[in-house]
Structures are given as structure tokens and as C-alpha cells.
Structure 1
Amino acid sequence: MNVEQVINEARFNRFHVLLVVLGYLVIIVEGYDLMIYGGTLSVLMEEWAVTPFEAGILGGLAPCGMALGALFFGRVADKVGRKNVLLISLLLFSVITVLAGFSTNVVMFGVCRFVSGLGIGGTPVVTYTLMSEYAPARNKAFVVGSVASAFMLGGLLASLVNMWLTEAIGWHAVYFVAAIPIVILTPIIYRFVPDSPLTYLKKGREAQLRAILRKIRPDLQITDDEELVVNAGNVGKSPVKALFVQHRALSTIAIWLLFFICQYITYSMTNWLPKLMINQGYAYNSGMFFLLILNLGWARRSHRF
């Protein structure tokens, strides 16, 4: 029995709904942990006498960590399983974000932001892949696209929490909120999110894969002695140089450049917009309101897309 064919021909059911909801929550948490820096920037600059240049460096550490984390965890996931990498990356950036709340100087805070970026970069790599692997063929684009749009909901949540906690309690509390996924979300993911079908077969866990397939395709009679097959012929055989052959070089460079510009604009706006508004005379919460509206617009647009 071909596992991919069974999944592709399935109807969207409760199994997929649960998987998409958990994917949403993971990406929302990721977006929150990345976006909270912009809301606390003005307070950090005042408390630690941070210059605009140093603030820019701090703001760039998490995205740099994300790039390295995506490359590293993407490779590791093929060896140890996507579910394990998802749990590790989620715990990594959540724990380190909490530690960032205990920072007493710029260096400690910067190190925490970089290390948390490693986990933030690894999370979407495995999350989107798992969504794609288990979504029916007719729903793959919708599932992956809708889960990806949850990132801006995380930014929206970060804006709200900053408005609620920063002036009332202090900027530290905004980072301590990252402990919630450690306590609640991680056990749920461990219990309900499946690993990659190929990982189950590699580790000789066919019984678990059969149980998952029965949830995906309750209309099929899958016996305990049913032989399962995954099309893995091309796994690990797509080097980066393949992006630059057969007239793909120009398209590859253009896509990379476009993605870089989009990320540059996104992180620049989310990091600096509240501070710029505060410099223009707005109160802290008013400055944060501009960021809230920005994330609301992005979230609405991405969901419509």
C-alpha cells in the first residue's frame, strides 16, 4: 500500500483539523517570540542606554539565528524525525525567550535572541513539511498557506501583550509569557502530532503508521499485515546547485532577492515602528497601537491570500 497515495486521496477530516489547529498554534507562538522585540525596543534603549546602531544589531540577531536554524534543523529532521525536531526547536526558542526576560545587559539579551532565533528558524521548516505530508492532495496548498499566515497572528498577539504588560509590569513579563507553550503546547504536540511517514518506516514503527492511516482513511480496511511503502527515491538528492542549472539560476536569484526584501521590510517595520511613533510624541501604548494595526493588516491580507 502506497502511503502517499492513501493520504493524497483522503477527505479532509477531524485528523486534519487537529493537525492544522496545532500547526496554527506553533506558528503563532513562533511569531510571538520573534515579534516581541519591537514592542520592548524603546524600553530597552532607555533602560540600558542602547544606541540606535546597537538596537539594530540586536534586532538582526534573531533573523540571523533563524537562517542558520532553518539550515541546521532542516538537515537534522531527515535523520532524527520531524516531530523530534519540532519539539526541540519549540522548546529551544521558548526556553531561551524566557531566559531573555532575565537579561541584565545587552550582551546577555543579544545572545538569547540569537539562540532563540535558531529554534524559531527550525520550527516552520518541519511544521510546513508535516502539514504537507499529511494533507490530502486537493488541500495541500490551502493547509500550508493558511498555517503560514498564522505567523502574523503571532505578531498581533505580541502587540497586544506588549500593550497590556510592558507599562503595567515591565518588559520582562512580555518574555516570560513564552513559558506558556512549554507547559501547555509541547505536551499536546508530543501526544497528537504524528511524525513523518518515512520516519515511521525507517524506525520499524509500521503499526503506528497504520493507526494514523486508519484515522486519515476510515473508509479503507488496513490490516495489520498490510505492507506500507513511501516514495523516497528523491529524498536527499536535491543539492543546492540544482537550483542553478537548466536555466533556473536567474529565477533562483530573483526569488531569493524578493524574499530578502520582503523579510527586510517586515522585520524593519516590526522592530522600529513603535519606537519611531514614540519619538514623534506618541505615548507607549499609542506607539504599540500602530504596530497592532500593521500586524492586523498583514494577518488579514495573508488569510485572504
Structure 2
Amino acid sequence: MNQSTARIGEIIDNAKISPYQIVILSLCFLIVLVDGFDTAAIGYIAPALREEWGLVPAQLSPAFGAGLFGLLIGSLVFGPIADAIGRKRVLIVSVFIFGAGTLASAYTHSIESLTVLRFITGIGLGGAMPTCITLSSEYSPARRRMIMVTLSWSGFTAGLALGGMLAGQIIPLFGWRGVLILGGTVPLLMLPLLVWLMPESVRFMASSPKHADALRKVVERITGKSWTGTTIVDDDRPAIIKSPISNLFIEGRTLRTLLLWVAFFCSLFVFYLLTSWLPTILKDAGYDIVHASRIGAMVPLGGTVGAILMALLMDRVGPYRVLAVSYLGAAAIIGATGYLMGDIYQLAAAVFLIGFGVAGAQNGLNLVSATIYPTAARVTGVSWAMANGRFGSIVGSMLGASLIAAAGTPQVLFIWLALPVLVGSVAIFALYRLSTPPRKPAPNCPITSH
């Protein structure tokens, strides 16, 4: 019998989307949802923490920064491990770490121990999210990949919004510890489901003959037909160069790389500063914890809606123009937000639009980063851009207290916050100009003299 060969990418691209793929993408969405909930939990419980422990805003900065620094470390550490031993095992370990870390945080009695546990939790969060995004991408056909990956990623911003909505209900009844107990218990309860239903990465299985039988079973569940007698292999990959980092700065890509890094830094600087500190800003402006949490939840809620609509729009008019206009509009809204503090409905609408413009565009920025570099340096280009974003998120969360104190009033603070988003818009517009080929003059164009 002749052994035929098929490529895993072509199989998934040519097959109809199966119920099995929907299950996988739904699991990824749920993991990223609880990931977002646990990432934002510290921001929503911050006002109650300050009250119970008698803290000033500056004392909360280490706890904010520790979680985000853990996210950075988790992304850097778990990525290579997942490539070596498989994504499923790393995903399960990551979910266990952030679930256990969040649950343990509910029983702390000092800001120092909370800071340590937030760092540990961040490591798990940093390992889970990119692994889920990778799995959702691998199990999505190319013709629907942008919207399907966007829907998976939107679980993160949905989790951030859910955190605010539930915190407003839980804290008055059970205190801030109730939020962390919920955020830790849910991912731990999901672990048996992940062990049972979540498959291994198809790319990982296709790259190793020992996983041939397991891969064939997964493909049969996707396509609904037998693949007995067929060897399923990974898609061809170009030769790996010695230093993929150098590919970010050659062949005219240096300026594009730097502009991309600027956009990532500015976007996540503002997003995480607002996610971490907005409930505190609103409480200081006179809102109670319930209303502060609900208004704060408008940032990620707007981001969820924005991510989906922008993914659909980018296919029609191009990503750069959509993202540049989105950041520009968000900068204008941010600058005006400080003047809307007295009206809860106008303020909630403004905060929703900030999330729509900043958090929604961030998803598109993640997708754009994968199109700038050649295949041999694509993962390096995306990961280094995201590392700059992580750095921006750490700086934003750590500087929040200092900026609040230095600004003095919400009006001044939000005008300051509009500036990084404006810089991000300019960076994206510059990327658009670099990516647009110059127009050639029409041949034989007559010159008219007057």
C-alpha cells in the first residue's frame, strides 16, 4: 500500500469548521476569560484593600507591577517550554499556577505577601494566554483565522469587564477576598475539563512521528473522514537563520520595528494604567466601590466590542488605517474624560469608548505584528513587540500613583494620558505610510502649459 502525505495546514484550511474546533476555541475563550478576570482583580479590589489595610496609593504600586512582571516572565519562559514539550501540558500547568496563586491571595494579610503571590499568579497568566492564542490560531482555517483568533482573544477583555461587574456585587457582600476566591476556584475547577477535552497542538504533533496516531485521531474528528494510510506532516518551514533578531533590523525593517514597539508600549501603558487605577481614581472622585467597579469595567467591555468590529473592518479597508483612526479617536476621548467626572452616564460612555479605541485596537495590533516580518523571524518579531507592550504595562501600572499625585486633578491626568495614545496613533500612521508603495506617475501624461 502506498503511503500518501498530507500537510496539516492544508487539511484545516480546506475542511469545514467542525463542532470539535468550536469546542477547542470555546475552551480557549474560557481560559483567556478567567485569565483576564484574574489579571484585573487587583485593580478592582484596590479601593477595598486601601480601606481595610490603611494603605496609600503608592503602597499598591508594587502589587500591580509584580503581577505584570510575572506576566512578562511567564510569556518568556513558558513559550520555549511549550515548543519543547507540548502546548497542552504547559497550558494545564499555567492554569494551575494562576488559579492557585489567585486563591492563595485571598488569604493574605499584608501587602508584601500579596505582592509575592501576584508575581506567582502573573507567571501562570503569562503562560496561559499566548498558549491559548496559539492553539486557537492553529485550529482555525486561514479564511476565518482573524475573526476566530479575535474571538478567542476577546475573552481576555471580556474577563476584565466581568471582573468589574462581579466585583461590584461581591465586595459589598463578601469583601475583596470573595473576588479572589472566585477568581482562583473557577480555573482550578476547569482543569479536569482541560485534561479531558483539550487536544495537543496539531503543529507540535505533526512535527514528531511519535504523535502520528494522536494527530490522525484529531484530524479525523475535524474532517469527519478516515486518514488511515496517510502521513500527516507540518507545513514546510524556511531554514532558521542563526540570529532571527537581526531580521528585525535589516532590509529596511528597522524603522518599522521601532514604530511597532512604540505603538505597543503606548497602547498597553495606557490600557494597564487605566485597568489598574481607574477604580481608585473614581473612588477618589466621590464614586462608591460599586459604581467605580462598574464604570471601570467599561474599558475592557468596550475593548471586547471594539476587537470584534475592528477585525471585521480590517479585512475590508486595511489594518493600518483602522488602527490609526481608532487610537486618534481614543486620544480625543481620553483628553475629554476628566471633564465628565460629574455625570455618571457620560463618564461610563466615555470610558466604554476609551476601551473600544485602545483595547479594541490592541488586538488588531497583535495581528498586524505578524505581517511585518518574514517567516524565519515572525515569532521573534511578535514576541519582542509584545515584550515592549508588557514593559509598557509594567511602567503604566507602577507610575499610576505618581501620575495621579502629580496631576492633582482628573482633568490634568486624563489630558496627560491622551498623549501616549496620540503618539501610538502617529506611529501606526507612519507604519501605514511605510507599507504603502509610492504611486507611479501615469505614462505619457501630457503637460499643459498656461
TM-score range, shorter chain: over 0.9
1:140-151 alignment runs, 5 A limit: 140-151=145-156
Q: Residue 107 of structure 1 corresponds to which residue in structure 2? A: 112
- SS of the aligned residue for 1:228 comes to strand
Q: 1:169 to 1:212 in 2, by over 3 A?
A: same
Q: Is 2:289 the counterpart of 1:290? A: no
Any idea what SS the aligned residue of 2:29 has? helix
Write the mapping of 1:32-51 to structure 2, written as runs, cut at 5 A.
Answer: 32-51=37-56
Q: Is the 8 A contact 1:20 1:131 kept in 2?
A: yes
Q: Corresponding residue for 1:169?
A: 174
The AA in structure 2 aligned to 1:168 is L
Residues 150-193 of structure 1 deviation map (CA, whole Å, 9 limit, x = unaligned) = 11110111012211111211111110112333443221121111
Residue 87 of structure 1 corresponds to 92
The one of 59, 67, 75 aligned to 1:70: 75
1:258-297 counterparts in 2 under 5 A?
258-297=263-302
Q: Is the CA contact 2:88–2:199 (under 8 Å) kept in the aligned structure 1?
A: yes
Pairing 1:1-305 to 2, within 5 Å after superposition = 1-201=6-206, 202=208, 204-218=210-224, 220-223=225-228, 225-231=229-235, 233-234=237-238, 239-305=244-310
Counterpart secondary structure, 2:136? helix
- Residue 62 of structure 1 contacts residue 113 of structure 1 at CA under 8 Å; is this kept in 2? yes
Cα offset for 1:234?
4.5
Distance 1:232 1:75 in 2: 20
Whole-Å separation in 2 of the counterparts to 1:203 and 1:107: 48
Distance 1:66 1:170, change over 3 A: same
| TM-fit CA distance, 1:133 | 1.2
Say if 2:86 and 2:200, in contact at 8 Å, map to a contact too. yes
% identical aligned pairs: 26
Structure 1 residue 36: deviation in Å? 1.1
Change (3 A) 1:296 1:235: farther
Q: Which has the higher contact order (CA 8 A, sep 6+)?
A: 1
Deviations 1:187-231 (A, max 9, x none): 11211111122433426121111111111112x4411x3222113
**Per-residue Cα deviation, 1:60-82 (whole angstroms, up to 9, x for no partner):** 22111111111111111110101
TM-score, length basis structure 1: 0.93
Change (3 A) 1:66 1:234: farther
Which protein shows a greater Rg?
Answer: 2
TM-score (norm 2): 0.64
Specify every segment of 5 or more residues in structure 1 that has no aligned partner in the other structure, as ranges.
none
On the 8 A contact 1:198/1:232 being kept in 2, the answer is no
* 3-state SS of 1:222 partner: coil
* Residue pair 1:95, 1:178 contacting (<8 A) in 2 also: no
> What is the CA-CA distance between 1:42 and the residue it aligns to?
1.1
Instruction: State the shift of 1:235 in Å.
Output: 8.4
SS at match of 1:83: helix
Structure 2 residues not aligned, in runs of 5+:
1-5, 311-450
Contact 1:41 1:55 in 2 (8 A): yes
Cα RMSD for the two superposed structures? 1.8
